[in-house]
Amino acid sequence: MYDIAIIGAGVVGAAIARELSRYQLKLIVVDKGNDVCAGTSKANSSIVHAGYDPEPGTLMAKLNSEGNPMFDKLCKELSVPFNRCGSFVVAFTDEQVETLKVLLERGKKNGIPGLEIVDVKKLLEKEPAASPDAKAALYAPTAGVVDPMLLTTALMENAVMNGADYKLNYKVDSIEKTAGGYIIHSDAGDVEAKCVINAAGVYSDIIHNMVAKPDFSITPKIGQYFLLDKSENDKIQSVLFPCPDKNGKGILVARSVHGNVILGPTSDVDQDRDDTGTTDEALNRVRQGCSKLVPTITTRNCIRNFAGMRAEPSTGDFVIREVKDAPKFIDVAGIKSPGLSAAPAIALYVVDIVKNCGIALNPKKEFNPIVKRTVFMELSPVEQAALVKKDPRYGRIICRCERITEGEIVDEIHRPIPAVTLDAIKRRCRPGMGRCQGGFCGPKVHEILARELGCEWKDIVLDKKGSYILTGKTK
Amino acid sequence: MNFDLVVVGGGPAGMAAALEAYNNGIKSIAIVERDVEPGGILQQCIHNGFGLHVFKEELTGPEYAQRFINMTKDTEIKYFLDTIVLDIAQDKTLTVMNSKQGIFELKAKAIVLAMGCRERTRSGIGIAGDRPSGVFTAGAAQRYINIEGQMVGKKVIILGSGDIGMIMARRIVLEGGEVIAVVARSSFPKGLTRNVVQCLDHYNIPMWYSHNIVGIYGKERVEKVVVAECDKKTKAVIPGTEKEYACDTVLLSVGLIPENELSRQVGIKIDRKTSGPVVTESMETSMEGVFACGNVVHVHDLVDFVTEESRKAGKNAALYIKGEITKNSQPNTFKVAGGLSYAVPHMFRPENLGDKFDILMRVDRVFGKCYLVVTEGGKELGRYKKPFLTPGEMIKLTVPSSIFKGMAGKEIGITVEPEEEK
């Protein structure tokens, strides 16, 4: 019997797991994916929003404004790259300039520091490639960019290092209320827990409905993106948004924390909650939207198109509460944007709910908040030399585009949450994230995986269960 | 460590350049190769057809590579294998790394860049749909099959009529797989005619010209693709012609891109058309003493031509080291038109040419009987009859150097004139 079971190993579930792993609790995280960070958290704009956008008084406003300042310490503790690069909302018409004023007021009410409406001259100083047709922009110095995949993975790793259990490929079929709590039923076995936290992303309404009357619903909304080569990053230093409209924050241009350029997303209702397909029509809209912000941007150097699904709640706000007719069942649902930015604050908010619903929270003395990860190319020459001497595998580059060494890849296979697929390795230490998209390093990473895991080449999958790469040996 | 010449890349280009420099009196040479053995991509090209020009016989890729490996073995040329070049400084100091020696420096008097090329990926051409497993670039699939002995799929569709696509179509069939078709956006093959015959026709593999794969679908593994017809001229997809084909594997042979990250890093001038360095008749780049050759300059169809070009680079690197390259005049530059997409070298000084001057070019469309016409300031310098030109086959135009005699700082025009017009 677990004290707490968390359904969902996205950034929200992971952040909650890590916060709860500070306490003397028997904790488990389950996820239907073949890896942690397999849903919304792996396919988004990777932006830590300043917090001027949500309506004051909403949970989104509260948790975005509280979450944003937590990133510096959190990312330092977890060795996750984070860059507080700032952001601009760009207005092109007088009407949009009025919108900037509304956003500024909202931001002030939300307690967001440093917001300022700047003229086009100031915008072009910071973003020389931005459209000179802009009239003004709302500058938010506290916005940032983060690696959401590494953040989620490191949060989960840290929870596991501090005693949490986790199960992957665990699709929840049903949840049964018992005298002592809940039994989660799945083909992958039952999990019994006193308290259940529903952080199931686009499936959170379905999970909720397993134990309680439907009182909200999730509309899956797909967002499609371009990821451009680093050679394009002279055109963007930070994050440029258009003026928001009823469909959300709009199609943005951002420089990712790794120096790529991200263009997107669209925002379209999609019936299939697992859909991550892209379409020419939607990507054309992305192209058009971005060229308004940065006229010289081209997708000639696109290295990847991708799409992610967002959980749009019918309530218009995050749904985070103990469910009325299901004691100790906590919804953390409808976490759309700014969910990533809010995640650290959501975790603290949920810890309070856990406490209030009668779970004793006794701190663990031995809690260790630190996750270390070696990024070879970021070490000093002296450190690099020492590391290669100690472990020659760090002297062998496997991914020539991103310059990832064999040592880093092997490390990922043997960490608290082992990376056992090609994409899991790619999400954590980036071989295949570059311009050749794994054309050169794919077979080499494949070989390393098979060797380290002691399995056949054909048993290694790309990502999900069933995503086999090879059919067997040649004749 | 100090060397007279450091060659970046131990494929056919790098080995040929190093050998030629050696044969021209430079004995202190290092080849830095990122793979564990020299030979580059030839090692996975186990089909034959290599060496017809250079060795006057038909070799496989590994055999062709081995000839050069053997020739370098008889020299003092030093290999750094499984070694990557991290950085090249303006003073020609290369920072390199491998697992045995860690990070160290190689100081050179001259450098030859021979890094080859990489494949364009799915995102480079923007095919819509899902991102399941089973989508490979043709070269990655070739590595899996030919080097690792691992099969990539059972029912395969191939996009791109380049040579690797056609060669892989045959390879898949030989390994017991089924190839639905090779889908070509163009109305003509982008690869060599001999490959159309030997790889497709002989194995009854259809080539669907003026078609494109417009969608790849499948949740985990590829389940189907959508193929549509394209307009013969604009190559735009014709709406309503989409058809679905069930398959488990898609191979993409949709172009090669010279790999010039290092060249860009040191600020070498890159030609937008070739995606390779701008080079002189000596194969020298915009950075003095840094030469380039092979697929890093422009993508070749035949390794034999890579070898020839690389010998030129190696020889000139040797002359440079010995202080025997003359640059006393303004170079002439080429300006191509009329269906030519580029010419290499980009510029030349007539006094540095031998009796004959090889100009390598590509057309952007198919021509029947035609002339390649070389002009300067409206004056025709030469007219060369060609029976057939296609983008799939590089043109090697050999002209007598005397036609450029005494010219300096001139813009030399080259154009295609279809015979009918004359």
| pLDDT band of A235, cuts 50, 70, 90 | very high
Which class is domain A2-41+148-217+315-356? alpha beta
Contact criterion met (CB < 8 Å) for B103 and A384 = yes
Instruction: Report CA-CA distances (Å) from A281 to A104, A277, A302.
Output: 33, 12, 16
Q: Does A285 touch chain B (CB under 8 A)?
A: no
Closest-CA residue of chain A to B36: A396
How far is the alpha carbon of A52 from chain B, nearest alpha carbon, in Å?
A: 34
Sign of the alpha-carbon dihedral angle for A361, A362, A364, A365: positive
CB A283 within 8 A of CB A226: yes
Helix locations, B55-192, DSSP H: 61-73, 122-125, 138-142, 163-174
Residues of B in contact with A469 (CB under 8 A): 133-134, 152
Q: Which residues of A180-207 are buried (b: 16+ CB within 10 A; e: fewer)?
A: ebbbbebebeebebbbbbbbbbbbbbeb
Partner residue facing B140 (CB), from A227, A442, A467: A442
pLDDT in tens, B131-166: 999 999 999 999 999 999 999 999 999 999 989 999
What pTM did the predictor assign? 0.95
Whether A473 and chain B come into contact, CB under 8 Å, resolves to yes
Which residue in B has a C-alpha nearest to residue A395's C-alpha?
B99
Closest to A411 (Cα-Cα) out of A427, A393, A423, A395:
A393
Q: What is the mean pLDDT of chain A?
A: 97
Q: Which structure tokens are listed for A374?
A: 């070696």
The share of chain A scoring above pLDDT 70, in percent, equals: 100
Average pLDDT over residues A18-39: 98
Residue contact A461–B214, C-beta within 8 A: no
Say yes or no: domain B335-421 is CATH 1.10.10.
no
Name which of B82, B137, B214 is nearest A396 (Cβ-Cβ). B82
For residue B422, name the pLDDT band (cuts at 50, 70, 90).
very low
Cβ neighbours for B292, distance < 8 A, ≥ 6 positions apart: B112, B113, B114, B263, B268, B276, B277, B279, B283, B285, B313
Torsional sign, CA A45, A51, A55, A57: positive
Would you tell me the crossing angle of helices A71-78 and A339-356 to the nearest 10 degrees? 90
Using one digit for the tens of pLDDT, what is the confidence trace for B189-248?
888 889 999 999 999 999 999 999 999 999 999 999 999 999 998 999 999 999 999 999
Contacts of B123 in chain A (CB under 8 A): 227, 302-305, 437
The tens digit of pLDDT for each residue in B389-404 reads 999 899 999 999 999 9
Annotated domain spans of chain A: 2-41+148-217+315-356, 83-144+219-312, 376-459
Q: Would you state the pLDDT for residue A285?
A: 97
- Evaluate if residue B420 carries a pLDDT over 80: no
Surface of B (236-265) touching A: CB under 8 A? 261, 264
DSSP state of B48: E
Write the CATH number of the domain with boundaries A83-144+219-312. Answer: 3.30.9.10
From the list B99, B174, B221, the residue facing A395 with the nearest CB is B99
Q: Which CATH architecture does the domain made up of B121-254 adopt?
A: 3-Layer(bba) Sandwich (3.50)
User: Domain segments of chain B: what residues?
Assistant: 2-118+257-325, 121-254, 335-421
Phi, psi values for residue B360, rounded to 5°: -100, 130
> B2-118+257-325: which CATH topology?
FAD/NAD(P)-binding domain (3.50.50)
Tens digit of each residue's pLDDT (9 = 90 or more) over A403-423: 999 999 999 999 999 999 999
Domains A2-41+148-217+315-356 and A376-459 share a fold: no
Task: List the single residue in A with minimal CA-CA distance to B86.
Answer: A403
How far from chain centre, in Å, is Cα B169? Answer: 20
Residue A14: what pLDDT?
A: 98
Is B326's pLDDT higher than 90?
no
Look over chain B and give the mean of its residue pLDDT values, rounded to a whole number. 96
Report the SS3 class of residue A469: coil
Which of A260, A278, A306 is the best mutation test for B, with the most CBs of B within 10 A? A278
Residue B374 near residue B408 (C-beta atoms within 8 A) = no
Which chain B residue has its CA at the smallest distance from A406's CA?
B99
- Say if residues B280 and B297 touch (Cβ distance below 8 Å): no
Residue A245 has pLDDT above 50, yes or no: yes
User: A418-461, pLDDT tens digit by residue?
Assistant: 999 999 999 999 999 998 899 899 999 999 999 999 999 999 99
Q: Residue A171 corresponds to which tokens in the numbers above? A: 């699709």
Cβ–Cβ < 8 Å for B369, B387: yes
Do the Cβ atoms of B39 and B114 come closer than 8 Å? no
pLDDT at B325: 87
Contact B103 A468 (CB under 8 A): no
A231/B contact by beta carbon, under 8 A: yes
Query: Mean pLDDT throughout B290-298?
Result: 98
Out of A84-93, A122-131, A245-254, least confident range: A245-254
Nearest alpha carbon to residue A44 among A316, A249, A269: A249
Chain B within 8 Å of A279 (Cβ-Cβ)? yes
| A298 CA: distance to closest CA in chain B (Å) | 12
Report the candidate in A144, A96, A145, A84 with the shortest Cα–Cα distance to residue A120: A96
Please report, to the nearest 10 degrees, the dihedral formed by the alpha carbons of residues B174, B177, B178, B184 taken in order: -70
Taking the CA of residue A443 and the nearest CA in chain B, the distance in Å comes to: 7
Residues of A in contact with B34 (CB under 8 A): 397, 400
Q: Which of A:407-466 have CB within 8 Å of B?
A: 435-440, 442-443, 447, 457-458, 461-466
Domains B2-118+257-325 and B121-254 share a fold: yes
What is chain B's alpha carbon radius of gyration, rounded to the nearest angstrom? 22
ipTM (interface pTM): 0.95
Candidates A397, A439, A468; nearest CB to B118: A439
| CA of A306 vs chain B CAs: smallest distance (Å) | 8
Interface of B with A in 202-231 (CB under 8 A): 214, 217, 219-221
The distance of B179 to chain A (nearest Cα, Å) reads: 15
Question: What is the percent of chain A with per-residue pLDDT over 90, rounded to a whole number?
Answer: 96
Give yes or no for residue A247 having a pLDDT over 80: no
- List % helix, strand, coil for chain B (3-state, nearest 5): 25, 35, 40
Q: Which fold has domain A376-459?
A: Arc Repressor Mutant, subunit A (1.10.10)
Q: So what's the pLDDT on residue B123?
A: 87
Give pLDDT, residue B192: 87
- The pLDDT tens digits of the residues spanning A265-322 come to 999 999 999 999 999 999 999 999 999 999 999 998 999 999 999 999 999 999 999 9
